[in-house]
Amino acid sequence: MWLEDWLHRYPGTLIVISHDREFLDSICNVTLHLEQQQIKRYGGNYSQFEVQRAQQLALQQSAYEKQQRTVAHLQSYINRFKAQATKARQAQSRVKALEKMELIAPAHIASPFTFEFRTPDSAPNPMMVMEDVRCGYRAEDGSEIPIVERVMLSIQNGQRIGLLGANGQGKSTLIKTLAGTLEALSGHVREGKGLRIGYFAQHQLETLRPDDTPLQHLARLAPDTREQELRDFLGSFNFSGDMATAKIAPFSGGEKARLALALIIWQKPNLLLLDEPTNHLDLETRHALTMALAQFEGTLILVSHDRHLLRATTDQFMLVAKHRLQEFDGDLDDYRDWLLQHAAEQRAALKANAAGNGGNAGAAGNGVGAANGVDSGVNRKEQRRLEAETRQKLAHLKKPLQSRIAKIEKEMDALNAEKATLDAFVADPASYEPERKNKLTEAIRREADVNARLESLEADWLETHEELEQIG
């Protein structure tokens, strides 16, 4: 959300590759689509692109069908008359028409990919219980590095939990502890009888073996299953034929993620622990995963920064922040508000800090500093450090605005210079000679464009200045 907000204010041109539709919708106004070795440009954000593309495909399909009818008609004419001398010339011209006709490709709708989770056999309830667990790591010298503490959690069968929290707060650490790949530093973790965890780690792709094929990966999990059955299963994840028996090293990130998901699904889990499973998936595969998860009958804990996926597949949220796990009472929009509020408070504190420090400099002289006695030296040093830090943070906030202003001013200067030349030309009676008519029309049109652009730049300039003043 921070990045989204920052990019909104970024004055330059931006090219972004992302599979996050809400993110794309919010920051892009042009969409380039790569398909079948071609790039196509669509005006508008992702949602608008989807609509336009669907319309285009429909149009293309009907144009194709229409053309196919014409082709068939011409062909039958040729077939009928090519033997008759009187009609031969006409038939010949139709042959030419047919040759010239550029064939429209049939609308190629990438075969929609779907998969589903297998229905779990049975599930314990509760599935897992954590009692006063401390999750974290051990340093080499054996000392503890606690990350999330005092975790009390009872996972009920059928719950669908979205795990929220900023980078580095400990979501993955908690999930690793639940999955059992990381031992709890203290406390009790109890698993229900018959629990089958399907765990997709944040760095899951690193657990795949690059020199092995998808088939070998799956066969390791199912040594006793017939190869054809494994191939069929892989086929349902779009690993057909050659791909099932090719080394996975050169596979794209998305292809590897798709394989990792297939391997999890094969194991028929009743509790899914998914830590950012969509990081590499393209929008179609994300869509397929979203649908599959929405229909999954087991229990789910999901870490994802994809708001669309969270909305569609989870119905309650928990938050990892400040070394604690707690229920988050609200939906994703509430979370967004919470984040913004949080950020605003931090900024306000920062500003207050800056203002306060400035004021204190005077106060220090009339006894406040002296009253602190021994501490005052340390305090002043700390204060200077804080002031420097605040200045730095403010400068950081101001920088994008300042560079935007500079950019606006540069463009305004260039336009003003051009405007002066145009004005002079239009004001000159000699410009109204008949042979200059075209040039004059062009100058007047350009003048209007320049004026309009200047007007919008000025508004932009004022707005940006206001924002800058607000920061202080």
Ligand X SMILES: Nc1ncnc2c1ncn2[C@@H]1O[C@H](COP(=O)(O)OP(=O)(O)OP(=O)(O)O)[C@@H](O)[C@H]1O
Binding site for Mg ion (CB under 5 A): 171-172, 202
DSSP state at residue 205: G
Fill in the DSSP letter of residue 216. Answer: H
The nearest distance, CB 337 to ligand X, in angstroms, is: 20
77, interface contact from Mg ion, ligand X, none, CB < 5-8 Å by kind: none
The 10 Å Cβ neighbour count of residue 437 is 11
- Name the residue whose CB lies closest to ligand X: 172
Structure tokens at 191: 């698993």
* Binding partner of residue 167 among Mg ion, ligand X, none, CB cut-off 5 to 8 Å per kind: ligand X
CB of 170 to Mg ion, least distance (A): 8
Pick 145 or 352: Cβ nearer ligand X: 145
Q: Quick one: 198 or 369, whose CB is closer to Mg ion?
A: 198
198 with 272: CB under 8 angstroms? yes
Instruction: Indicate the residue among 171 and 308 with the shorter CB distance to ligand X.
Output: 171
Chosen from Mg ion, ligand X, none, partner binding at 173 (C-beta under 5 to 8 Å by type): ligand X
Question: Residue 187 Cβ, how far from ligand X at the closest point, in Å?
Answer: 17
Give the one entry of Mg ion, ligand X, none that residue 170 binds, where binding means its C-beta sits below a cut-off of 5 to 8 angstroms depending on kind: ligand X
Contacts of 469 (CB under 8 A, 6+ apart): none
User: Which tokens go with 274?
Assistant: 């998914």
Residue whose CB is less far from Mg ion, 61 or 202: 202
Task: Give the count of alpha carbons within 13 A of 430, CB side only.
Answer: 2
> Which listed option, Mg ion, ligand X, none, makes contact with residue 165 (CB within 5 to 8 Å by class)?
ligand X
Give the C-alpha separation, 430 to 428, whole Å: 5
Chosen from Mg ion, ligand X, none, partner binding at 137 (C-beta under 5 to 8 Å by type): ligand X
Q: Give the span between the Cα atoms of 470 and 44, in whole angstroms.
A: 31
Closest approach, Cβ 170 to ligand X, in A, equals: 4
CB 182 within 8 A of CB 258: no
Q: Rank residues 275 and 282 by Cβ distance to ligand X and give the closer one.
A: 275
Residue closer to ligand X, measured from CB, 304 or 390: 304
Task: Enumerate the H helices of 182-324 as residue ranges.
Answer: 214-221, 227-235, 241-244, 253-266, 283-295, 307-313
Say if residues 45 and 312 touch (Cβ distance below 8 Å): no
Task: Tell me how far, at minimum, the Cβ of 117 lies from Mg ion, in Å.
Answer: 22
Which H or E element spans position 354? helix 332-363
Which one of Mg ion, ligand X, none interacts with residue 103, CB within 5 to 8 A by kind? none
In the bound state with Mg ion, the residue whose beta carbon lies nearer, of 167 and 366, is 167
Site residues for ligand X per CB under 6 A: 137, 145, 147, 165, 167-173, 202
| In the complex, minimum distance from the CB of residue 22 to ligand X, in angstroms, rounded to a whole number | 17
Query: Which two structure tokens, joined as six digits, stand for 412?
Result: 């305004």
Give start and end residues of each alpha helix (H) in 10-84: 21-27, 46-81
